[in-house]
Amino acid sequence: MLGRAAVVLVVAVAGLLAAAHLGAGERHRAGRRVAPAPPPARALHIYRRRLVATRPPQFLVVSFDGSGGTELWPYWRGIARRAHAHFTFFVSGVYLLAEERRLLYRPPRHSRGASDIWFARPEGSRSARQVVAGTLQQIAAAYREGNEIGTHYNGHFCGPYRSAVMGWTARDWNQELDQFDRLLFHAAANNRLPRAARLPFGPDEIVGARTPCLQGSLRILYPVLARRGFRYDGSQLARLGAWPRREGGIWSVPLLEIPFVGHTFRVVSMDYNFFANQTGAVSTSPSEAPAIERETYLSLLRAFRTTYRGNRAPLSFANHFETWNHWAYDKALARVVLRVCRLPEVRCVSFRELVDWLDAQPHARLRRFRAGRFRLYRP
């Protein structure tokens, strides 16, 4: 639907056309045949530009849970540069603590040094401490390239047991976030690294999070995040086409339930959910990887096209720093990013950049966008 300004411009352009037509008619009656003058090019240019300005960009936010080790950082940083995109890396703090130093981590409701995921481990000939140093270098480089660092908390305590995140209080979440800051910003001292990379940012730059396994009481968590200066959370789920919503001072930017190509049900727009549904969360034969990659790629691409040509709700696609099913999910997501991020009106941004845009929109405009009251894009 056109806004008032666009309608005024339409009337103005129509008036110019009518004036040109009348002028031509008068000259014809005087004996001279003169072709009607076209409307001024500037008026049409402004009209078209304002039509586009009334339609939201198509945002695609790509994020990574865990973001540990050094193997996949160069790969995804390279994809971001090629696509002219910015990604969000949700770091798990325990990946910045060598196994032999694990007792420095004090998780809520668990004993010192406990974690449901690995601490930093050796990679090839590199020791765990060297891996931590390399990870710090990668985090610093990614941030300097315009990517965002968020938190995936630390010990990844999810599941149906009493001390898992589902039962955490505000005090527990605060303790876990304090521990995250210590593990990330004191990683050199924690691991006794004399020449570790210095991070070019501090705790104030961590403004977003995703909870372990997408679990935890957000009713309890969101006030904690808001008090600590966080701006968004990426832990909720919604159907494809849902716009982010502000809850308790925090933007909730959900992962999406999208049509699953080749199946009769939907799948969450995250690699693990494809992995669990396709092969039971166990990597299968390498010969099956191309078919898995194609099915994942087409599911993500069709979700993008539906929204790009539809209501333009921001899209959230996520992977882990894993190579499940022989890189099938990494390759599928990379193909989508490289294909769509340079299309007209598409912005591949970090979560932080998305919420910057959301915060800058007048409430009336966001309501109009959510309601789909704008001219749809037809390539």
State the residue range of the domain holding 345. 57-364
Same structural domain for residues 146 and 114?
yes
pLDDT-derived band of residue 10, with 50, 70 and 90 as boundaries? very low
Same structural domain for residues 135 and 156?
yes
Tell me, what's the pLDDT at 53? 52
pLDDT-derived band of residue 198, with 50, 70 and 90 as boundaries? confident
48 within some domain: yes
What gap in Å lies between CA 226 and CA 174, rounded to an integer?
11
Tell me, what's the pLDDT at 16? 36
Tell me, what's the pLDDT at 126? 94
Tell me, what's the pLDDT at 54? 84
Same structural domain for residues 211 and 172?
yes
What gap in Å lies between CA 34 and CA 21, rounded to an integer?
10
Same structural domain for residues 108 and 173?
yes
Tell me, what's the pLDDT at 38? 45
Same structural domain for residues 251 and 283?
yes
Tell me, what's the pLDDT at 261? 98
Tell me, what's the pLDDT at 358? 98
Evaluate if residue 257 carries a pLDDT over 70.
yes
Domain count, the chain: 2
Distances from the Cα of 99 to the Cα of 17, 102, 103, angstroms:
75, 5, 9
Same structural domain for residues 98 and 25?
no
pTM of the model: 0.85
The mean predicted confidence, pLDDT, of the chain is 89
371 within some domain: no
Same structural domain for residues 161 and 61?
yes
Same structural domain for residues 107 and 159?
yes
Same structural domain for residues 104 and 43?
no
Amino acid identity of residue 296, one-letter, is: T
Q: What is the DSSP code string of 172-198?
A: HHHHHHHHHHHHHHTHHHHTT-TTPPP
Tell me, what's the pLDDT at 114? 97
What gap in Å lies between CA 265 and CA 181, rounded to an integer?
40
Predicted confidence (pLDDT) per residue in 72-98, tens digit: 999 999 999 999 999 999 999 999 999
Evaluate if residue 336 carries a pLDDT over 70.
yes
